[in-house]
Amino acid sequence: MPSQLSSTSEPLQTSAQGGNTMMRQQHSYSWLFKAATKSLKYFLLGLAGCTVTYVLAQVLSFGGLASLMVLLLEKLALRALVVVFCLWAIAVITESLR
């Protein structure tokens, strides 16, 4: 039985050591792409936080806080969304040109 284990494991070792195995190169993204993905991540996290705050304000009958969240989302979130997606689009275009 031990001879069978050594004979089956030996070809696996020689095949892993021999032959042409190509290593994948890791792609390093530019600082613009990293900044765009981080800004998109934190924008979406902030939007989720605002949504949770609004729902809790409605459930707990905090009308002032709920109206403040709606005002914040109407005025700031739309503009921030445009800026984040423009930054993301520029980063994607520059990465594709690299």
Q: Is the residue at 57 inside a domain? A: yes
Structural domains counted in the chain:
1
Q: Is the residue at 20 inside a domain? A: no
Q: What tens digit of pLDDT does each residue of 24-52 get?
A: 667 787 888 888 889 989 999 999 998 89
User: Is the model's pTM score more than 0.75?
Assistant: no
Residue 85 domain boundaries: 30-97
What are the two backbone dihedrals, phi and then psi, of residue 71, each rounded to the nearest 5 degrees? -65, -40
The predicted structure's pLDDT at residue 41:
92
From the list 86, 71, 80, 89, the residue with the least C-alpha distance to 42 is: 80
Q: Is the residue at 46 inside a domain? A: yes
Written as tens digits, the pLDDT of the chain (98 aa) is 555 555 555 555 455 555 555 666 677 878 888 888 899 899 999 999 988 988 998 898 888 888 888 888 888 888 988 999 899 899 889 888 87
